[in-house]
Amino acid sequence: MTKMKKTSQICQSKLPDNTALKQQQLPAYRLQLSATGVLSGFFATGAFCLGVGIILILSAKSIKEIEGNVYLYYKLYGFYQNLYRYILSRSNSQLVGTDLKDVGNCAPFSKSHNGTPIAPCGAIANSIFNDTIILSYNLNSSKHMEVPMLRSGITWWTDKYVKFRNPSAINLSSAFTGTAKPPYWSKPVYELDLEDTENNGFLNDDFIVWMRTAAFPTFKKLYRRLNRVQYFIEGLPAGNYSFNITYNFPVTRFKGEKSVVLSTLTWSGGSSLFLGLAYTVTGAVTWLAAFSMMAIHLMLKEKRTLFIER
């Protein structure tokens, strides 16, 4: 008798509590949409996407090339920054300045030939774009003026002040004592900008911009922005310009190409048509689906009407 009582208690303990939640007795509401409501939602969504897409495309097309705030970009073709192993090849604890010796995910760019930890380590940092681009304004056939460009203020705020920090030390060079520069770099990270201490080390804008990997093999990254002083208060005046480029970043290794882009910005961003085209295509597909469903609905409604009349 005692054994049967214990067995009964064990079986009862395995049962869910007799509550509305665990017995699935909570009140529920079944949404019942009519064909008119569904079709109206599809048409409204399609109209919204089409409208936003057209506005974004027109905005991108309206970008001018020489007036106002001008931005200088470098553009790479055929460089795959979206490879999974490439994206993981970095040390976030290094980049926030907490542990310069943490190079566990950076192989094969984790340590130098003599075993010294590399800072910054990883494939992303090692492959940084390092061409030097200088834009000159040709006042006449014999006089050329270098266009003043700013190398700071080209990063996302969260990158500059949250994701990247220099290690704390009396001076930056001593902070990186015991580390080595990446193999393809010509100078260590604490010498990236000796003129501006706020733009040196891991806080260097060029370095931060490169470390934000691109989603597609063809991409452009912000390199400089126009300093609107002297002749360039209103932007780039009409005239002849020339580029002086120091070729350091090879593209033949990955069968790619590179170019330089001068552009202004609008409220929707740069000159890329991708977002506008995405909205436009989404709106068009939504409308196509709505018309298809409406046609099917009308056909079925007509058949039901004929069946009732018979």
Enclosing domain of residue 49: 41-60+267-290
46 shares its domain with 167: no
126 shares its domain with 85: yes
Residue of 258, 245, 127 lying closest to 183 (CA atoms) = 127
Whether the per-residue pLDDT at 199 is higher than 90: the answer is yes
Q: Are the C-beta atoms of 135 and 241 separated by less than 8 Å?
A: yes
Looking at every residue in the chain, the average pLDDT score rounds to: 86
pLDDT in tens, 88-134: 999 999 999 999 999 989 989 999 999 999 999 999 999 999 999 99
Arithmetic mean of pLDDT, 65-86: 88
User: In angstroms, rounded to a whole number, what is the distance separating the alpha carbons of residues 188 and 176?
Assistant: 9
pTM score: 0.70
Buried b (16+ CB within 10 A) or exposed e, 66-105: eeeebbbbbebeebebeeeeeeebbbeebbebeebebbeb
Q: 7-21, 211-225, 285-299: lowest mean pLDDT where? A: 7-21
Q: Which amino acid is at 73?
A: Y
Q: What angle do CA 221, 226, 227 make, to 5 degrees?
A: 140
Q: How confident is the model at residue 11 (pLDDT cuts 50, 70, 90)?
A: low
242 shares its domain with 112: yes
56 shares its domain with 102: no
54 shares its domain with 124: no
177 shares its domain with 86: yes
User: In angstroms, rounded to a whole number, what is the distance separating the alpha carbons of residues 124 and 95?
Assistant: 12
Structural domain total, the chain: 2
* Number of Cα atoms under 13 Å in the Cβ half of residue 54: 7
282 shares its domain with 196: no
Structure tokens at 13: 């303990």
DSSP string for residues in 197-252: GGGSGGG-HHHHHHHS--SSSSEEEEEEEE---GGGTTBS-SSEEEEEEE--S--G
Structure tokens at 17: 């509590």
199 shares its domain with 259: yes
Strand pairing of 71-77 and 240-246?
A: unpaired
User: In angstroms, rounded to a whole number, what is the distance separating the alpha carbons of residues 179 and 192?
Assistant: 15
Whether the per-residue pLDDT at 139 is higher than 80: the answer is yes
User: In angstroms, rounded to a whole number, what is the distance separating the alpha carbons of residues 20 and 14?
Assistant: 17
141 shares its domain with 47: no
